[in-house]
């Protein structure tokens, strides 16, 4: 889990106006001709969203706005699809995000409404409520925002996910296979609520199961290097190699990415470094 640069608000009002502008489709008028006062009310909801760091609240649902306005904003989100008049929202948010900020496994392919579109209609086209996620994370994330603080997802734009190392991996070699289990390190210097929320995300998005699949693929790519360094420098060589590779992956991704976390756990596994890797790495 990692933070992403917070999108600019410069175009928020322009996007909103474009999303709801009126037009006629197949003889039916669509969109909504909003007054400036109504636009100001939506922008005030954006302000409240930013100030509250995207935490769900009744006020953000815009109950005082006319239903037609809320529905028009909701439908306006469809224009962010490729080829739509608001496609630039999508391309701008996706640009430069190589991997899903939650799992770090796959590239983001979808925009997730941090606060769900169906309940929080005024925020349907607000860039800061739209987070690039991979398909699997987006689909596993609930379609409703939890009231329970320990079950609230981190906001990759508005919250600071701790800088400290908090993801932990335990590795065991059993029955010719490597079993890695990830959790949130109880000793990590983070607030108890932050710990609970991180654990919730790990569980909710089934990251353990998903990392297990990735680990096998990744370790295959390291098999030759581990073997060679063991041949020339023994267990210490393997340990040094794994730690050096962990530093590379950490810089390339981030501190709490599953790859450096797993490499450091393997470096701490005396048996793996001392030749047991042969049982789990492909020949």
**Interface with Zn ion (CB under 5 A):** 100, 102-103, 134, 137
**Cα–Cα distance, 205 to 258 (Å, whole number):** 14
275: Cβ contacts below 8 Å, ≥ 6 apart: 230, 235
Q: For Zn ion, give the closer residue by CB, 12 or 103.
A: 103
| Least spacing, CB of residue 99 vs Zn ion, in Å | 8
CA angle 79, 109, 6 (to 5 degrees): 75
| Least spacing, CB of residue 8 vs Zn ion, in Å | 24
Q: For Zn ion, give the closer residue by CB, 112 or 185.
A: 112
In order of 104, 113, 139, 174, the CA distances from 252 in angstroms are: 11, 27, 26, 31
Q: What is the DSSP annotation of 24-66?
A: EETTEEES----HHHHHHHHHHHHHHHHTTT---GGGG-TTS-
| Least spacing, CB of residue 161 vs Zn ion, in Å | 14
Q: What is the DSSP annotation of 103-162?
A: TSSS---EEEESS-TTT-GGGTT-GGGEEEE-HHHHHHS-SS--SSGGGPPP-TTTS---
Q: For Zn ion, give the closer residue by CB, 69 or 131.
A: 131
| Least spacing, CB of residue 178 vs Zn ion, in Å | 22
Q: For Zn ion, give the closer residue by CB, 137 or 238.
A: 137
Q: For Zn ion, give the closer residue by CB, 111 or 137.
A: 137
- Asked if residue 89 lies in contact with residue 82, where contact means CB atoms within 8 angstroms, the answer is no
Residue 211 token pair: 């990392």
Q: For Zn ion, give the closer residue by CB, 137 or 180.
A: 137
| Least spacing, CB of residue 19 vs Zn ion, in Å | 27
| Least spacing, CB of residue 205 vs Zn ion, in Å | 7
């Amino acid at each position: 889990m990692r933070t992403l640069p917070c999108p600019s608000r410069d175009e928020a009002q322009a996007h909103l106006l474009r999303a709801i502008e009126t037009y006629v489709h197949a003889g039916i008028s669509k969109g909504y001709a909003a007054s400036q006062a109504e636009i100001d009310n939506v922008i005030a909801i954006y302000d409240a969203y930013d100030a509250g760091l995207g935490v769900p609240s009744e006020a953000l649902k815009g109950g005082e706005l006319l239903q037609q306005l809320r529905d028009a904003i909701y439908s306006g989100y469809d224009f962010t699809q490729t080829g739509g008049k608001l496609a630039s929202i999508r391309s701008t948010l996706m640009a430069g995000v190589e991997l899903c900020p939650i799992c770090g496994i796959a590239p983001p392919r979808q925009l997730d409404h941090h606060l769900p579109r169906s309940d929080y209609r005024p925020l349907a086209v607000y860039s800061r409520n739209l987070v690039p996620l991979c398909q699997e994370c987006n689909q596993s994330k609930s379609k409703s925002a939890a009231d329970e603080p320990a079950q609230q997802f981190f906001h990759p734009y508005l919250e600071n996910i701790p800088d400290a190392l908090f993801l932990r991996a335990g590795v065991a070699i059993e029955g010719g296979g490597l079993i890695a289990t990830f959790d949130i390190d109880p000793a990590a210097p983070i607030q108890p609520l932050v710990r609970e929320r991180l654990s919730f995300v790990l569980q909710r998005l089934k990251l353990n199961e998903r990392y297990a699949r990735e680990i096998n693929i990744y370790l295959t790519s390291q098999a030759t290097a581990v073997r060679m360094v063991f041949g020339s420098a023994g267990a210490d060589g393997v340990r040094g190699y794994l730690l050096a590779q962990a530093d590379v992956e950490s810089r390339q991704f981030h501190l709490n990415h599953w790859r450096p976390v797993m490499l450091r756990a393997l470096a701490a596994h005396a048996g793996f470094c001392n030749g047991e890797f042969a049982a789990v790495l492909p020949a």
